[in-house]
Amino acid sequence: MRDIRLRRLLAIDHPILQAGVPWVSNPELVAAVSEAGGLGILHPSAGMAPEGDMAGNLRENIRATRRLTAAPFGVCFYLANPQVEGLIDVALQEGARIAVTYGGSPALFTGKLKADDATVLHQVSTVRHARGAEAQGVDVVIADGYEGGGIRGPEEIPNLVLVPQIAEAVSIPIIVSGGVMDARGYVAAMALGAHGVQLGTRFVATHECIAHPKYKEALLGAIDTGTIVAGRYHWPTRLLRSGKSIRSKNTEPPQDSDRQEFWDGELGATQIREAILDGNLDSSVAYCGAGVGLVSEIMSAAEVVENLASGSRTIIAGLR
Ligand X SMILES: Cc1cc2nc3c(=O)[nH]c(=O)nc-3n(C[C@H](O)[C@H](O)[C@H](O)COP(=O)(O)O)c2cc1C
Give the range of 31-39, 126-134, 160-168, 288-296 binding ligand X by CB under 6 A: 288-296
Closest distance between ligand X and the C-beta of residue 40, in Å?
Answer: 13
Query: What is the rounded radius of gyration, in angstroms, for the C-alpha atoms of the chain?
Result: 18
Stretch that binds ligand X, among 45-53, 83-91, 130-138, 147-155 (CB under 6 A): 147-155
Smallest separation (angstroms) from ligand X to the CB of 72: 19
The nearest distance, CB 124 to ligand X, in angstroms, is 11
Residue 185 binding ligand X, by CB under 6 A: no
Burial 114-146 (b: 16+ CB within 10 A, else e): beeebbbbbbbbbbebbebbbebebbbbbbbbb
Does 176 sit near ligand X (CB under 6 A)?
Answer: no
147 contacts ligand X (rule: CB under 6 A): yes
Which one of 26, 65, 159, 177 is in contact with ligand X (CB under 6 A)? 177
State which of residues 106, 132, 150, 153 lies at the interface with ligand X (CB under 6 A). 150
Q: Per CB under 6 A, which of residues 193..222 are in contact with ligand X?
A: 199-202, 204
Residues within window 4-43 making contact with ligand X, judged by CB under 6 A:
19, 21-22
Q: Of the ranges 57-65, 131-139, 148-156, 299-307, which one interacts with ligand X (CB under 6 A)?
A: 148-156
Of 120 and 204, which has the nearer Cβ to ligand X? 204
**Number of shown-chain residues binding ligand X (CB under 6 A):** 26
Between 116 and 214, name the residue whose CB sits nearer to ligand X: 214
Closest CB to ligand X among residues 10, 267: 267
315: left (phi over 0), alpha (psi -120 to 50) or beta: alpha
Q: Using CB under 6 A, which of 148, 153, 173, 226 touches ligand X?
A: 148
Chain residues that interact with ligand X, rule: CB under 6 A: 19, 21-22, 102-103, 144, 147-151, 177-180, 199-202, 204, 269, 276, 287-289, 291
